[in-house]
Amino acid sequence: MSEHWDDDALIRRLYGIGPQDGHLDECLECAQRWEAMSAVRKGVLEPPRTPEVLLAAQRRAIYDRLEQPPIRLALVPAALATAALVLAAVLLHKPAPQNYQAQSDAALMADVYSLVQSDEPRAVEPIHALFEANQ
């Protein structure tokens, strides 16, 4: 008697590409494992049994739904809410005030340069104002 087949050999045999050396005729243990694998595969490949009564009830329900006119009233509240939001957004929209002062490029660059080159954080500026000499 030769060695027992491993699961890979049995699976290859299950799909028709495994060894065909007659080992399953000689080895009872491998033959039992083979039968168990074959039964599982047959169970998986077999389509599930569905009662005809269930299928007929589903078919009747589908035909009933097809005969009824479509209900579009469910969309009315959503459409009204959307229209109200759009109207509120249009009515309440106020453009931002444009009260900025035009600066020259040189002045702007000087301000940016002073901010970048300063080692102190901006939060220190009010403290400096406390110690400035009154003129």
Q: How many domains, the chain?
A: 1
**CB proximity list for 2: less than 8 A, separation 6 or greater:** 21, 23, 26, 27
The predicted structure's pLDDT at residue 59: 95
**Exposure string over 98-116, b if 16+ CB within 10 A, otherwise e:** eeeeeeeeeeeeeeeeeee
77 within domain boundaries: no
Average pLDDT over residues 58-78: 85
Query: What does pTM read for this prediction?
Result: 0.36
3 within domain boundaries: yes
The predicted structure's pLDDT at residue 62: 93
97 within domain boundaries: no
Percent of the chain with pLDDT over 70: 91
- The better pLDDT of the pair 64, 125 is held by 64
pLDDT above 90 (res 83): yes
Average pLDDT over residues 81-87: 95
Amino acid letter at 29? E
pLDDT above 60 (res 1): no
64 within domain boundaries: yes
pLDDT above 80 (res 115): no
- The better pLDDT of the pair 6, 122 is held by 6
Quote the strand ranges of 49-123, DSSP E.
none
Average pLDDT over residues 1-10: 81
Least confident of 5-9, 34-38, 69-73, 78-82: 69-73
For residue 105, what are its two tokens? Answer: 């490029």
135 within domain boundaries: no
Distance from C-alpha of 82 to C-alpha of 75, rounded to nearest angstrom: 11
Amino acid letter at 74? A
37 within domain boundaries: yes
75 within domain boundaries: no
The predicted structure's pLDDT at residue 133: 66
Q: Tell me the residue range of the domain where 63 lies.
A: 1-68
Question: CA torsion 46→50→56→61, rounded to 10°?
Answer: -110
